Structure 1
Amino acid sequence: MPRHILFTGALAVSLLSGCSFQGESHVKASSPGELSAPVAKKIPHEMTIHGDTRVDNYYWMRDDARQDPDVIAHLNQENAYADQVLAHTEPMQAKLFDEIKGRIVKDDASVPVKKGSYFYSSEVEGDNEYRTYVRAKDFAGTDKTVILDVNALAKGHEFYSVGQLSVSPNENLLAYGEDTLSRRVYTIQVKDLTTGEYLDDKIEGASSSIVWQNDNQAFYYIKKDPQTLLGYQVYRHRLGTPQSADTLIYEETDTSYYTGLSKSKDGEQIFIWHSSTETSGVSLVDPNDPNATAQVFYPRETGIEYGVAKRGEWYYIYTNYQAVNFRLMKVHQSERDDRSQWQDVIAPNDKVQLVDFTLFDNHLVYEQRENGLPRTTVRNLTTGEEYQLSFNDSAYASYLTGNAEMDNSAVRVYYTSLTTPHTYYEFDLASGKREMLKQTQVLGDFNPDNYQSERVMITARDGAQVPVSLVYRKDRFKKDGTNPLYQYGYGSYGSTMTPMFSTTRLSLLDRGFVYAIAHIRGSEMLGRPWYEDGKKLNKKNTFNDFIDVTKALTEQGYGDKDKVFAVGRSAGGLLMGAIINQAPELYLGVAAHVPFVDIVTTMLDESIPLTTNEYDEWGNPNDKTYYEYMLSYSPYDNVTAQDYPNLLVTTGLHDSQVQYFEPMKWVAKLRELKTDNHTLVFKTDMEAGHGGASGRFKRIKEDALEYAFFLDLLDKQGK
């Protein structure tokens, strides 16, 4: 939850009394005894393209510097109003916070991962908000030493985040990025792990990706554009020299691409990743050459995606070349630029999606998804023999993780389900024998046998079968349409919301909620075609699927049609905005967190961070066809004079992904046009960005706020 905003002096008087300063946003007058909602000033701003003129009365709310007095004043007014409206829920928020926090083990540690001579892990103690990073010579941590204490670094900062930690090949130096503004722009520091002292080297305006040269004398990093926040230049920094002397290794001139950095498992290759929504590629840098230049692995082709991993003299290539659901190929390093020499390792399958893979000295482990269900296979690369890893649940999420070295004898897998806490297994590569390394402990009276998960298929209006993951508490659920329903969705970028466990969610399930994840089109739950059918000119399928799931779940008795709540974040916030324009009557309450709701204006403005990267996702509105289609569903442009559900909207002033002014404008327009008396509150964390508050317990406050908001609506409905 955003930090509480305190007001003093004249401004406080004006806010609480409903007065305003001339020409500024003001507080809407209301009946005696009623709270006052802020009303924003209107300054018409015309935007014309394709012969169509839109008038945006709240365009003035955009301030890239985030210092405009009128903007800050209005955000403060909204925060003050939200605090007033939600004041009576503070006891419930506090109860939920304590309840959720009470399930969390205060002293906890991650599973150590071996890299070089050390096992690396992180731990958290007591009421500390942040983790401490440690390493030891053995898995048990008998000689454990601290390499970075984030709690100490975060002191004095309202927001603090550490990016990727990168240890030099000789294991004596640690480079990491820190972000104190929540804009995902990092300052890279270098710490000497033998002395604990910091080097004078400091890199400003970078991403969090850092890769060392093998002589320990230099590292590679990505510089970000200060306006678009797009990482686009790869530099080599030599220790002991100023940033101004760094060598430019690669510059991405196409603003529709993201740039990434990593190193091969054997440490003998640096990868520069080039990725847009529909096209990707790789360049190679030799970490053994202090004067290395970037060499293209294989030229980029529109619509073709590929990524690579290295095993000896062979490269393994994950690609969608002639494979809608991706395939795995390999090529000898001497023939990488001749695609006719690429050989199939895992052939393409239109019904089975290849999701991920990892390589070992003598084994390949790969993940696939069929009909939305995952499976993991181990292949002996000498004999070709295969076996599948076995798990307990019928529907679950699993990911390859922590497999940092080629000579590991076991593969590590993260596993969870809607009823199974986060679990880490190791499977012996030779025998398949499974060992549990850790399962997250849930304090209190949690018993997984008290909860039931289901996977159902819902028929959408066009006949498509939409998977839905459900979980509820057995003794609180009756399939008679009386339970409150919490429906979550995302549905963009091919991102798949897998059925994962949540200790926070238990507070809803224990109060009788049915929790549903709608795996709508725009995700890749049913493979790559499922994603393609929910993007660009098919985007409305995403919204229709979510609405159709809501209707079906209530018709089938999973939820009360008068007690439905919907939640989405970021692009899922766009989903929320679209569904409440189209079918507001279906939802009692909606939470839209950092919502992307002003899609047309944003996608027409290339100065806004990430815009050009999104053309392959949403379409380019400079093309009239895409403009008209996007305009037909844009949440902000389609706000009308109608009743809307009760709404909780949140954002962060420093959000680098969805700028704060999108939800700010949206709320202002909703206040102007909505015809109901339902609650609409807008909370801005004046210190945070897209990911919300930093710190493990601060984040719980945001969840407690949302849950209390919904529970209060149920309580009012009961009265």
Structure 2
Amino acid sequence: MKLTPPSADAKEFYTNYHKEKVLDPYFWLKEKQNPAVIAHLKKENDYFNKMLKPVSGLSGKIFKELKDRLPKEDAAVPFRRGQAEFFHRYVKGKQYIQYCKKVGSKVSVLVDFNKMVKKGGYLSIHDMGVSYDGRYFAYSIDTKGDEVCDIVIISTETKKVISHLKNTGGNFTWSNTDMIYYLTLDGHIRNDKVWRHILGDNQKKDQCIFHEPDQKFFISCYPSSSKKYLLIRSAEKVSSYVAYLPLDEKGQTRPKVFSKLKNDVLYSIDHAHNGFYIRTNEKALNFKMYFCPDNKIDKKHWKVIIPHSKDINLLGMENTSKFLCVYERSQGLPKGRIINRETGKVYFIKFPEAAYNMSFSSDYYEYGDNKIRIHYASPITPKTTIEYDLLTRKQVVLKVDEVKKFHSKNYQVEYVMVPGHDKVKIPLCIIYKKGLKKNGKAPAMIYGYGSYGSTIGYNFVPSLVSLLDRGMVYAYAGIRGGSELGRKWYEDGKYLKKKNTFKDFISCTEYLVKKKYTSPERLSAKGGSAGGLLMGAISNMRPDLYKVICAHVPFVDLINTMFDDSLPLTKTEYKEWGNPHDKKYYRYMKSYSPYDNVKEQAYPHMYITGGLNDQRVTYWEPTKWALKLRDFNSGNNDVLLKINMGEGHFGKSGRFDSLKEVAEEYSYVLTKLK
């Protein structure tokens, strides 16, 4: 017997933007405190669970595979602080890490995060770190999924709590002494204040040293590479500025602005022993880099050290005592540019695989060590941790993540450029198990995001092995709105060009069909958050091209959300999508907003998730969307909705609980693509 999906009361309510009255019968679902709302969400979850019951056997089997693929015990590569080494590890059967200290051969557990969460509860470790002298360990945790964190600081000798800071944003920065800096949130999950805390003091004594009142700007703080300055960056989507302060300053000195805010100009800075390094996109779309001495920070003293290139996007930098290390991206892939400041010689760190991801950090070493730690992976190469000596260029592999029952030689990666609707070439990474017959009969999943300038990292994802081993083709679409091909790639997929994002994704999908990797009857698509908006748009534009669409915490009620200034993030989002109070942007946004463009047609199977405590994409967006899809769906495919009642934007926590959700999704998709 076919199950009947839950319905909700359709109440007569009209929104009225720019004098356009639009019926929104599910607007009332925003009332989180209304018992009828919670009752409806529970009905949705009950229906979801019943609909997935036929695949529970496959789901259990895949979950076991995912779990067995992980080592029962695993430890990160240690790093040294003072006379001790520090690392975190998983122990057999436990969901969360232990943070450990090692002196000689003796290992002691500083914090066991498993003891902080009840069975089925939520715990997200937002940040953690050891002070530069190794005397203190700090961590921040979120126990509700609302991204509000406690910061706890303990002695690494006695394990006693030194300070407990509540209602923070979770980020902190050590000084070289007995101080720590941390951020707090306004009512919009926006970091807006920096506080100075003396270890051991009552939090009420803490001094606010910086406040950003503009709701469009988010602040972050971090130490300079030289550990001489605290750097505070305030940024919106297209503009930023940096303030700086001596890292160990205890007096009343306030941070100084390095270079004043300028509209549509982004910049960041770092400090090495000989001066400041500036990365800016002023008159340089993909950024360029300058240097200036400590005592001459006026722009007239800035000297170009890396000029702008239309083909290379400069993404970030770090410094050691002798080297400037630049993180950049070209041809869609990351690279490291290393500059010896004493000799001026330049060389590059890059890797030979067709598609990969790479990052590096000097944080694990002393400033004078002139070493960095590289984290490398590809879709078929597990995460590899490498110690890299900048002077000798010697690489030492410190660890390759263990992945059981996996051999990279059995899999193939292709990195191709796909022609888009306007002939622009789009990067597409395709992964499959060797022996694939390109006859259109293989199941496939294509993933996309395409917003905020975020790039898809071609990382190794252990869970994907369970799909690849079942003959599935998996693809990553590097669509416009991301920064895969530079800043212009991002700008050509936002504001009044946002539809390029959706059209690029469809072009990549059509390529998979045209080249007979798969066919529409065996094809699924996946995206989350802003990638969920992408899923909503393609479901309206080309429902015939997909059998299943998986949309996680999807941003789909674009117009209502962008007109609601009381919601977190709304105002800062104007620089991504446009300001809907401007009729030009309103009409364009409304023309692709997934919720507003649901129409009578046959939709693919829709697998939708959300979180009750999500402050980024509120639970009512996927809830309203699922109901409207059912109202207008002229076909017989499922519209499923699952709302995690105790979690937020990032879903289940825990090493194994999160895998259960993955297995659940995989089993449903695989069954529908048969």
Shorter-chain TM-score bucket reads over 0.9
Cα RMSD for the two superposed structures: 1.7
1:345 equivalent in structure 2: 305
CA-CA distance at 1:387 after TM superposition: 2.3
Do 1:570 and 1:596's aligned partners in 2 also have CA atoms closer than 8 Å? yes
Distance 1:266 1:147, change over 3 A: farther
Q: Tell me the distance in 2 between the aligned counterparts of 1:418 and 1:580.
A: 27
Q: Deviations over 1:201-220 (max 9, x none)?
A: 4332211111234431x432
Moved more, 257-266 or 147-156: 147-156
Moved more, 117-126 or 602-611: 117-126
Aligned: 1:112 with 2:71: no
Q: What secondary structure, in the 3-state scheme, does the structure 2 residue paired with 1:102 have?
A: helix
Moved more, 371-380 or 610-619: 371-380
Do 2:173 and 2:180's aligned partners in 1 also have CA atoms closer than 8 Å? yes
Distance 1:212 1:390, change over 3 A: closer
2:562 equivalent in structure 1: 603
CA-CA distance at 1:116 after TM superposition: 4.7
Moved more, 488-497 or 315-324: 315-324
Do 1:113 and 1:402's aligned partners in 2 also have CA atoms closer than 8 Å? no
Do 2:354 and 2:413's aligned partners in 1 also have CA atoms closer than 8 Å? no
Do 2:190 and 2:568's aligned partners in 1 also have CA atoms closer than 8 Å? yes
Q: What secondary structure, in the 3-state scheme, does the structure 2 residue paired with 1:562 have?
A: helix
Identity of counterpart residues, as a percentage?
37
CA-CA distance at 1:277 after TM superposition: 0.6
Q: Deviations over 1:300-341 (max 9, x none)?
A: 1111111111101411112112211111211112122x1121
What residue identity is the alignment partner of 1:377? Answer: R
Aligned mate of 1:246, from 189, 197, 206: 206
Aligned mate of 1:614, from 573, 587, 590: 573
Q: Deviations over 1:352-382 (max 9, x none)?
A: 1112322111112223222213322322211
Moved more, 512-521 or 290-299: 290-299
1:146 equivalent in structure 2: 109
Aligned: 1:508 with 2:467: yes
1:95 equivalent in structure 2: 61
Q: Tell me the distance in 1 between the aligned counterparts of 2:58 and 2:121.
A: 25
CA-CA distance at 1:683 after TM superposition: 0.8
Q: Tell me the distance in 2 between the aligned counterparts of 1:114 and 1:630.
A: 51
Q: Tell me the distance in 1 between the aligned counterparts of 2:132 and 2:362.
A: 18
Q: Deviations over 1:684-719 (max 9, x none)?
A: 11111111111111111111111111111123xxxx
Q: Deviations over 1:600-656 (max 9, x none)?
A: 111111111111121111111111111111000000111111110001101111112
What residue identity is the alignment partner of 2:497? Answer: N
Q: What secondary structure, in the 3-state scheme, does the structure 2 residue paired with 1:334 have?
A: coil
**Matches of residues 285-684 of structure 1 in structure 2 within 5 Å?**
285-291=245-251, 292-336=253-297, 338-401=298-361, 403-404=363-364, 405-444=366-405, 446-475=406-435, 477-684=436-643
Q: Tell me the distance in 1 between the aligned counterparts of 2:667 and 2:402.
A: 25
CA-CA distance at 1:385 after TM superposition: 1.6
Aligned: 1:165 with 2:128: yes
Q: Tell me the distance in 1 between the aligned counterparts of 2:293 and 2:123.
A: 44
CA-CA distance at 1:156 after TM superposition: 5.9
CA-CA distance at 1:526 after TM superposition: 0.6
Moved more, 124-133 or 353-362: 353-362
Aligned: 1:60 with 2:28: yes
What residue identity is the alignment partner of 1:525? Answer: E
What residue identity is the alignment partner of 1:304? Answer: V
CA-CA distance at 1:146 after TM superposition: 2.3
What residue identity is the alignment partner of 1:366? Answer: V
1:26 equivalent in structure 2: none
Q: Deviations over 1:16-49 (max 9, x none)?
A: xxxxxxxxxxxxxxxxx32121011112222222
Q: What secondary structure, in the 3-state scheme, does the structure 2 residue paired with 1:549 have?
A: helix
What residue identity is the alignment partner of 1:95? Answer: K
Q: What secondary structure, in the 3-state scheme, does the structure 2 residue paired with 1:384 have?
A: coil
Aligned: 1:204 with 2:162: no
Distance 1:96 1:402, change over 3 A: farther
Q: Tell me the distance in 1 between the aligned counterparts of 2:334 and 2:240.
A: 24
Do 1:166 and 1:174's aligned partners in 2 also have CA atoms closer than 8 Å? yes
Q: Tell me the distance in 1 between the aligned counterparts of 2:392 and 2:228.
A: 30
Q: What secondary structure, in the 3-state scheme, does the structure 2 residue paired with 1:407 have?
A: helix
CA-CA distance at 1:527 after TM superposition: 0.7
Q: Tell me the matched-pair count.
A: 672
Normalised TM-score (structure 2): 0.97
CA-CA distance at 1:115 after TM superposition: 4.2
Moved more, 49-58 or 545-554: 49-58
Distance 1:293 1:151, change over 3 A: same
Q: Tell me the distance in 1 between the aligned counterparts of 2:327 and 2:288.
A: 11
CA-CA distance at 1:188 after TM superposition: 2.1
CA-CA distance at 1:113 after TM superposition: 2.9
**Matches of residues 2-21 of structure 1 in structure 2 within 5 Å?**
none
**Matches of residues 64-79 of structure 1 in structure 2 within 5 Å?**
66-79=32-45
Q: What secondary structure, in the 3-state scheme, does the structure 2 residue paired with 1:441 have?
A: coil
1:215 equivalent in structure 2: 177
CA-CA distance at 1:485 after TM superposition: 1.5
CA-CA distance at 1:50 after TM superposition: 1.7
Q: Deviations over 1:493-530 (max 9, x none)?
A: 01000222111001111111111100000011111100
Q: What secondary structure, in the 3-state scheme, does the structure 1 residue paired with 2:381 have?
A: coil
Q: Tell me the distance in 1 between the aligned counterparts of 2:165 and 2:372.
A: 36
Moved more, 516-525 or 266-275: 266-275
Aligned mate of 2:144, from 163, 172, 181: 181
Q: Deviations over 1:101-129 (max 9, x none)?
A: 11111111112233454433211111111
What residue identity is the alignment partner of 1:441? Answer: E
CA-CA distance at 1:431 after TM superposition: 2.2
CA-CA distance at 1:400 after TM superposition: 1.0
CA-CA distance at 1:187 after TM superposition: 1.7
Normalised TM-score (structure 1): 0.91
What residue identity is the alignment partner of 1:246? Answer: D
Do 1:222 and 1:235's aligned partners in 2 also have CA atoms closer than 8 Å? yes
